[in-house]
Structure 1
């Protein structure tokens, strides 16, 4: 991955952690604390473990670890996950002094920023944190790492003395380690204070049993053997890499040699063919010299006739084969036309049946007698006259009706224009949204992205032009299709 991509990933991780601090999840508080925050922390630690292995990723590693500390200060419940994470264990086993110093400084800043941080941790988490600080004192020889680890232990003891001081007694030999390895390194006051804190309670407690000393020896032996095995494994990896490259070079050389032999063989075949052709012509010339003069011309004519027969046979065979292919093509064309006519006939019948099914059945407008009698006609006429006399018409003059009609028509046309513009605007927004979605779906990954691809997301002109070009091409392809291919299809091409 390019360096800029790692920087973008680290910036995105920092932005995500900043947004997760102080946020109010509301009704989704349970999912936020149980799912989102653990997954975010695991992703940050994984990114930090990958940046740790890169020579140019130290600044990015510092930025990611700052994000981890920010999350820990805001959400104390993630401390146990960090201390027991596989990725954090890989970071702890790194031999780089800068990485160890950044980890210890992160815990120092976290404990200093919030005095309630240690009080919210369990005893196991506090013990794991002490194990990390004491492990740095036992493994590292750098003064900055040792000073930061001693300050972390003192800070924990000052904030939680009743919890931390009994836990320090489990680290037998810590006072002698401090007195032997870390005295005279520039922070003797902190070393003396920590030694006094450890020895203040050890005077009142019995000496540790031999089993603990033996357990410490076993742990040290396991750790030293682990370091030795890791060095041996790295040597084996280097040897395997060397062997793999040597074998790849041998295979490449063998392949080049095989290609050279093939080219040489082809050249020899061409040379031998030319020699055989030259020998044949020379032999034919010698035979012509042996013939009598009166038989030379008939012999040449006979050779020409044989050559003409061979040429004619090849030409006729080619012509017959082409004619056969043309006949097959014609038969296939006729079969396709017949299939098209059959399909058109079936589609027309299907459409006719569907239209007939959609037409509502006609009902008779007259229910009752087939005709009117004179008495019934007179009665109906009388009822109509009474109704007209009781309900006079409210219609005005013809000019008023025409004016009212013109006003209603103008209002309806204005409303139709507004609806049309609104619909057109909605279609434009929908098309623009589809274009952006397609662009995001087809966007290249961060590993291969360029500045041109990044600038294309900032200007919609290219997207609109691409969308218009695709719509135009789709309209052209639809116009070239036969009419029976467009039956039953909806018009999806927007103007």
Structure 2
């Protein structure tokens, strides 16, 4: 369905293109129909460019008498504005695949603008439309220059040349656009290109424009002439290509022959030396010699007094003396500022060095902390591995299970703590907001009720109004009432002696409690010390090496500091040695041991509280 619509729109576009070349009496209707077709929403960019190229090309191939009228109809109907806004001013990404058609449309648009007779709309045509056309052409040229690497060699150069020729054609017909071209941003981008072909095309464009129109240079302003001279001299100073240099020299000669620009050329100091040293022997020595001769002849017209070496030297001496005086004054007045600047600079540099050193120390500290943590973790794992080797095989799995359980409990406790703290924080914040809101509301309500009570309460009168004094009978009656109330409501206060006695009792009780607390604390510390000592001895006994590798120093470390325990252990050990030396028949019966009282190992271990455990062999 979409393909049929596109074919139908393409056929209608071709029919409109053929309508654009009708006789003069029906040309206005065909231009209006062309505009209507261009404003349709289903027209693609390629179809629009093809339609414009076909219609404008056929319109330009009419006779010379009707050419002005046709171009004027294209301008007044807005077709040329469509060319500028819908094609020439588009971004390069939208023109992909349509570069050739866009360059052809640029040339046709320039030809139409050169032959348009705006009539009563000449002010809008010269101040609004033509600058937009120039900006669109230069924008298209700049995009072609940037996308020239993606084009196919000579085809890209040919399209760029076509657009630049269009600019030259428009400048020939409307010389007032020269200042806009030289100050345009897109033309500056073209000038900054390092390609020799682009530079040569720019110079040839100006050379062609000046050659075709004799009145082109005379119609330019002084600023435009100076900008044009700057471009030509800049190409001579920057470029090393012979073609670019020859075109620049020819442009300068042409401008010198048509205008009096030699005083402006003399303002470029060293131009004659540049021409003599860098551009001789390049194939255009005759042009170079002619330009140098013109500059020297104009320089020779200056009076000898102005070129006097003595005056020049005197002027240099005076200027040097004045500048040195100004410099000394400035340096003398700025000595304090320089000292302050140096001091602040050194302080800033010292601060930066200190910050860098502090940062290095911090990084080194972090690295050492991380390294020591790794070493401690490695030592801990190594110790755990050694302890696992000492455990019996049957207890390894249970020990690992216990370690996993403890780790899981630790992780779960951390997670639950984090979750509860977060929940408590959120709940606390919510409850705090609610409490504050309730407090605010209650305060407001209380104030409101207080104000209402105060407003509704009747005015109080003073109690002493009408009671100037008491009579004896009223005084006796009040005294009786007071005594009756005191008798009915006895006071709860105690005497001072009772308070002191209670204070002394409380102090004695508190001192007794503090003494008991101190005794309990000392007893707890002693118990913790004994437990720690016991655990240390048990750990040492578990890690005891086999007897085959025991040394005297290691054996001394296993001696108990208690004399009683050491004596009992020595007796038990001697008894066991003597028992091993008995004949076998002495061990069969329950005969009484004649070597001395000995205790079995189980009873001895029970008696010593599990502090003596034999080593392993």
Which of structures 1 and 2 has the larger relative contact order (alpha carbons within 8 angstroms, sep 6+)? 1
Q: Find the structure with the greater CA-based Rg.
A: 2
- Compute the TM-score of the two structures, normalised by the length of structure 2: 0.33
- Compute the TM-score of the two structures, normalised by the length of structure 1: 0.41
